[in-house]
A and B are shown apart, each in its own frame.
Chain A
Amino acid sequence: MTSREKILSSIASNKPSLVSLPNVPIFEGDGSVERFKTVLESIGGTAVELTTKSECQEAIDKYYHDLVNIASDIVNANVPINLATTKEILEQVDLAVIQGEIGVAENGTIWVPESNMLNRALPFITQHLVLVLDKKNIVANMQQAYDKLEGVDSYGVFIAGPSKTADIEQSLVIGAHGARSMMVLIY
């Protein structure tokens, strides 16, 4: 008997009789831009509201004028990134500006599917991360977020603020391994 068969047959003989699966309701809640911004700021992120998406370039020029290597398919970029980009080039990226799909007001998180990442490693290896988000796509909570999600792509991540750790004496430090800062441009 293979281990697979052994495990499955052991489960079959040890499991309890079938218990029904509950229905998960779509809970109501506050899905306002205001709440999203407040929560995002409480977890170390920054939110900036724009009138239109076309103002992204202006915002990047204003807040990140000191950063050199920029990767993006939304604003002017000088580091072209694709699936074949080497680790050595990815490592040099100072700022990545990419599209976020769904924002969640309750926890400040944003869904980023692989198709928006340019390269799977980019949102994590970049020193600073900017996600661009349409305010129409802000929902109240995770039930509403998964309800809105059409699929999970090959890979996708809910990102909530910059990389952080409190592993040394519970002192919060922003910028563990991933992005040192995270800004959301909301239009």
Chain B
Amino acid sequence: MNHQNHPELAEAFNKDFERTTWHDETLWFVRQKRDKAVYPIPEFQDLRTLASEIKDHTLSNLDNYLIEFEQNAIKNGVKVHWAADAAEHNQIVMEIIKSSSKVEGRNPRLVKSKSMLTEECHLNGFLENNNIDVVDTDLGERIVQFRNEPPSHIVLPAIHLKKEDVGETFHVHLGTTKGEKDPQILTEAARQHLRGKFVAADVALTGVNFAIAETGSFVVCTNEGNADLGVNLAKVHIACMGIEKIIPKLHHLSVYTRLLARSATGQPITTYTSHFTKPAEGKEMHIVIVDNGRTQQLGRADFRASLKCIRCGACMNTCPVYRRSGGHSYDFTVPGPIGAILSPNIDLHKHKSLPFASTLCGSCSDVCPVKIDIHVQLYKWRQIVGQANELTAAKKWGMKGMAKVLSMPKVYDLSGKLARGALRILPHGLTHNQSMNPWAKARELPDAPKQSFKEWYEENRQ
């Protein structure tokens, strides 16, 4: 399949002008809610610093904390599995499901709450190919699952859709009235539909927001209650976590629970902050600990801080590029600024356009609750993309040409003169020709001044 880059996919998204504007404004509204939730907390900046430092410490001792976590989880009666990559993760999950839920004459039934890790591993398709029925239970995820689409945002999976789209999807899949688009009625239809799935499930799978080394517990945060409902009705619970989800002590949760929801959606805390430590009587609990490129990222000094991410999505909501290009334009499980610094580690060639999907304004770093230097890392990935000879020809030669001009003052002065003259003389159709000057696709050049600032300064200096 021919892989499309970010500018191409963003251009396709931008064809619907009204929807792009709506998407932009909706996410900005979420960013504003974040600000309103953050400003009243006097120690918010202290909490960010603590959150960042606790994660820095944990990453510097990660192997020992994982061992401590494993030992405590085993003591709690939990089965711990390790997966080096996505394929091994998927295989482990499938084997747990097949061995623990022996059912006659039908496929095993799995209900899932949100887990970006399983999206990253493409678990759903793998399980379905192996005759396991998979139901995503988060409302947004169920909507995109019906539509056979990936989530477009890590916290708001269906943020690219309008209520009319959801209404049509539910009409097709859940039999709601054609044209029904009231969110209250559509949510109620999903509630009724999914209650049946929860009660019928054999196995429940969840992600992990935080794993506590000290107690062997893990924490899952949801607003809908779908994780708890699934887990507490099924016989088997599988929790999948990346190695970076560890925090040392239970009381460290007091820092992250004050930051996560405020940064994500502007809520004071998620509705449910669930602490799983031991399986219920007669039930099974499994934890799958996954690497899938994370240890490699840990070894990249410039980029290891990306592993501190707690997946709040604040960097997406604030990003002027994400808001106007949509999550699908990134073509990676985690879109937005954080996705643009995680993805090149996984596949530099495929994701080479993502570090350029940024204005480097730094707003992402400003809102990040764990103080990841996202915009600095975007800039550093650009250097690596260049060194790996992965720049597009236009960008590469444009940069080389620019470097030459900027290093020779006389050539620079002359080019400026020529450009100013040309802009005044040449017809608009040529100066704004979209294939020669892609910058002008949605922009107007200002009128060219008669002289440069340098010339003006020479004339006017006292």
Within the complex, the shortest CB–CB distance from A136 to chain B, in Å, comes to: 20
| Whole-angstrom CA separation of A145 from B269 in the bound complex | 13
Asked if B298 and A163 make an inter-chain contact with CB atoms under 8 angstroms apart, the answer reads no
Closest to B228 in A: A124
Question: What chain B residues lie within 8 Å of A65 (beta carbons)?
Answer: none
* Chain B contacts to A: CB under 8 angstroms: 26, 29-30, 41, 43, 46, 49-50, 53-54, 56-57, 59-63, 66-67, 76, 82-84, 88, 137-140, 143, 156-159, 161-163, 166, 183-184, 186-188, 190-191, 194-195, 198-199, 215, 217, 223-226, 228-229, 231-233, 243, 248, 250-255, 257-258, 265, 267-281, 289, 291, 295-296, 298-299, 301, 304
Asked if B271 and A167 make an inter-chain contact with CB atoms under 8 angstroms apart, the answer reads no
Within 8 A of B (CB), among A104-147: 104, 106-109, 119-121, 123-125, 141-143, 145-147
Asked if A20 and B57 make an inter-chain contact with CB atoms under 8 angstroms apart, the answer reads yes
11 A-B pairs (CB sep. < 8 Å): A4-B82, A91-B199, A109-B269, A149-B250, A152-B275, A155-B274, A167-B158, A169-B163, A170-B26, A170-B29, A179-B225
Asked if A21 and B295 make an inter-chain contact with CB atoms under 8 angstroms apart, the answer reads no
A14, A24, A39: which contacts B255 (Cβ < 8 A)?
A: A24
Within the complex, the shortest CB–CB distance from A152 to chain B, in Å, comes to: 5
Within 8 A of B (CB), among A31-67: 39, 42-43
| Whole-angstrom CA separation of A36 from B281 in the bound complex | 35
B43, B60, B254, B276: which contacts A18 (Cβ < 8 A)?
A: B60
Within the complex, the shortest CB–CB distance from A161 to chain B, in Å, comes to: 6
A107, A159, A176: which contacts B139 (Cβ < 8 A)?
A: A176
Q: A153: CB under 8 A from chain B?
A: yes
Within the complex, the shortest CB–CB distance from A107 to chain B, in Å, comes to: 4
Asked if B253 and A165 make an inter-chain contact with CB atoms under 8 angstroms apart, the answer reads no
Asked if A171 and B62 make an inter-chain contact with CB atoms under 8 angstroms apart, the answer reads no
* Chain A contacts to B: CB under 8 angstroms: 2-4, 6-8, 10-22, 24, 27, 39, 42-43, 83, 87-88, 90-91, 104, 106-109, 119-121, 123-125, 141-143, 145-147, 149, 152-171, 173, 175-179
Question: What chain A residues lie within 8 Å of B231 (beta carbons)?
Answer: 120
Within the complex, the shortest CB–CB distance from B31 to chain A, in Å, comes to: 12
Closest to B255 in A: A24
Within the complex, the shortest CB–CB distance from B193 to chain A, in Å, comes to: 11
| Whole-angstrom CA separation of A17 from B301 in the bound complex | 11
Asked if A125 and B233 make an inter-chain contact with CB atoms under 8 angstroms apart, the answer reads yes
B233, B267, B271: which contacts A178 (Cβ < 8 A)?
A: B271
Instruction: Across the A-B interface, give the 5 residue pairs with the lowest CB-CB distance, nearest first.
Output: A178-B225, A14-B299, A107-B268, A167-B140, A176-B224
| Whole-angstrom CA separation of A149 from B41 in the bound complex | 22
| Whole-angstrom CA separation of A139 from B439 in the bound complex | 55
Asked if A170 and B30 make an inter-chain contact with CB atoms under 8 angstroms apart, the answer reads yes
Known: A87-B233, A146-B250, A163-B224. A152 touches B215 (CB 8 A): yes
Most B CB contacts (10 A, CB to CB) among A14, A109, A153, A160 go to: A14
Known: A15-B59, A176-B187. A158 touches B269 (CB 8 A): yes
Asked if B224 and A164 make an inter-chain contact with CB atoms under 8 angstroms apart, the answer reads yes
Within the complex, the shortest CB–CB distance from B144 to chain A, in Å, comes to: 10
Question: What chain B residues lie within 8 Å of A161 (beta carbons)?
Answer: 271
Within the complex, the shortest CB–CB distance from A83 to chain B, in Å, comes to: 6
Question: What chain B residues lie within 8 Å of A107 (beta carbons)?
Answer: 258, 268-269
Question: What chain A residues lie within 8 Å of B59 (beta carbons)?
Answer: 15-16, 19
Asked if B250 and A165 make an inter-chain contact with CB atoms under 8 angstroms apart, the answer reads no
Question: What chain B residues lie within 8 Å of A142 (beta carbons)?
Answer: 253-255, 257-258, 269
Asked if A177 and B195 make an inter-chain contact with CB atoms under 8 angstroms apart, the answer reads yes
Closest to A108 in B: B268
A12, A109, A152: which contacts B217 (Cβ < 8 A)?
A: A152
A7, A19, A20, A157: which contacts B295 (Cβ < 8 A)?
A: A7
Within the complex, the shortest CB–CB distance from A102 to chain B, in Å, comes to: 12
Closest to A145 in B: B254
Known: A19-B57, A39-B268. A168 touches B163 (CB 8 A): yes
Known: A108-B268, A167-B143, A169-B183. A8 touches B273 (CB 8 A): no
Question: What chain B residues lie within 8 Å of A7 (beta carbons)?
Answer: 66, 82, 84, 243, 289, 291, 295
Asked if A15 and B50 make an inter-chain contact with CB atoms under 8 angstroms apart, the answer reads no
Within the complex, the shortest CB–CB distance from A185 to chain B, in Å, comes to: 19
| Whole-angstrom CA separation of A126 from B304 in the bound complex | 44
Asked if B138 and A167 make an inter-chain contact with CB atoms under 8 angstroms apart, the answer reads yes
Question: What chain A residues lie within 8 Å of B269 (beta carbons)?
Answer: 104, 107-109, 142, 158, 160
Question: What chain B residues lie within 8 Å of A158 (beta carbons)?
Answer: 257, 269, 272-274
- For the complex with contacts A121-B229, A124-B229, 12 further pairs of A-B residues with Cβ separation under 8 Å are A11-B66, A19-B53, A24-B252, A83-B281, A91-B199, A125-B232, A149-B250, A154-B278, A157-B275, A167-B156, A168-B139, A168-B166
A162, A169, A177: which contacts B194 (Cβ < 8 A)?
A: A177
Asked if A176 and B223 make an inter-chain contact with CB atoms under 8 angstroms apart, the answer reads yes
| Whole-angstrom CA separation of A27 from B50 in the bound complex | 12
Question: What chain B residues lie within 8 Å of A154 (beta carbons)?
Answer: 76, 277-280
Asked if B84 and A177 make an inter-chain contact with CB atoms under 8 angstroms apart, the answer reads no
Asked if B229 and A125 make an inter-chain contact with CB atoms under 8 angstroms apart, the answer reads yes
Known: A121-B229, A141-B258, A168-B186. A43 touches B268 (CB 8 A): yes
Question: What chain A residues lie within 8 Å of B296 (beta carbons)?
Answer: 10, 14
Asked if B268 and A24 make an inter-chain contact with CB atoms under 8 angstroms apart, the answer reads no
A156, A159, A171: which contacts B271 (Cβ < 8 A)?
A: A159
Question: What chain A residues lie within 8 Å of B299 (beta carbons)?
Answer: 10, 13-14
Asked if A21 and B57 make an inter-chain contact with CB atoms under 8 angstroms apart, the answer reads yes
Asked if B298 and A87 make an inter-chain contact with CB atoms under 8 angstroms apart, the answer reads no
Within the complex, the shortest CB–CB distance from A116 to chain B, in Å, comes to: 14
